[in-house]
Amino acid sequence: MTPAAVGAARDLIDQVRLLHPAHDGRVRLIADFSGGRGWLVNIEVAGLLDINLPPWVVIDHPLHNAFASTSVVNLLTGLGVDLTTLRGVELAIMLDTVQVFGTQVTVDRAQLRCGDNFVQALAWADQGLDARQQAVQTAMGAPGPCTVHWNRDARVLELSNHAGLAATFGAEFIGSYAPAECSWCWGWANGSVSGELTAAITAVRDAAVRDAVTLPVLQAPGLPCSEPFAFALAHIAASRMGNGGMGIWRWPRPSGMQMFFAIDPGANTRRS
């Protein structure tokens, strides 16, 4: 089995898990290739488990359906299927296996980015999340309308209003979401940001390895991503920072890039 086929099968299983988090491992996919490209037209789930994602985890179904469709194309290509003559295909998705055209592709469940440990990580991040976010929103909203500057040397966000510098907050760079590319990049994988500025998110990645917490989503440099899913990734990382977790703040940039920070509202110096 080629690495490309195994990687595509892993990606497909991950996307199906996001689209149907409670599926019991009996999923049937129908993909249509009659228009010259693969597109999922039907997903049948045989049974559901007692699994619920936190209410703040929102899945952009059309976009993740597109990600899954891309994974189907990549899987068939990795298996050597001639897509030019293909009109349709049926796939069976299990918890760690994809079956198509009589071929079974098995992946290591420990390498799934959206497997059981990912669901548990979301539940962990959910503990105290409302209070953390409320603290960040209250603290950063107190100065009123402000402009924001990331002081990289001091590792703080500086808020300025009409009277000048209003407040500074300790800020750890988590990662960035690129809407045009529908992709997420962890801060430690961003070559334009120095190592000192990514120390906190690098520590989160390394702790997962050191403590044998199988959470590949923290260890992959980047991955296909929707805007709501970017918030979920940021919350998972921020819940592992500071003393008992930190809240997050998104900073949209003029280029369209969205930067995510973990904010410590207690590390605030009020200036006016």
Give the model confidence (pLDDT) of 131-167 as tens digits.
999 999 888 887 788 889 999 888 889 999 877 778 8
Domains of the chain by residue range: 3-112, 127-270
pLDDT for residue 213: 66
pTM of the model: 0.91
C-alpha span between 253 and 137 (Å, rounded): 19
Q: Is 246 helix (H, G, I), strand (E, B) or coil?
A: coil
pLDDT for residue 194: 81
Query: Across-strand partners of 221?
Result: none
For residue 90 the two structure tokens come to 């049926």
Residues of the chain predicted below pLDDT 50 = 271-272
**Angle in degrees, 0-180, between the axes of helices 116-126 and 227-238, rounded to the nearest 10:** 70
Q: Print burial letters for 210-246: b (CB count within 10 Å at least 16), e (below 16).
A: eeeebbbbbbeeebbbbeebbbbbbbbbbbbbbeebb
**Angle in degrees, 0-180, between the axes of helices 61-78 and 3-19, rounded to the nearest 10:** 160
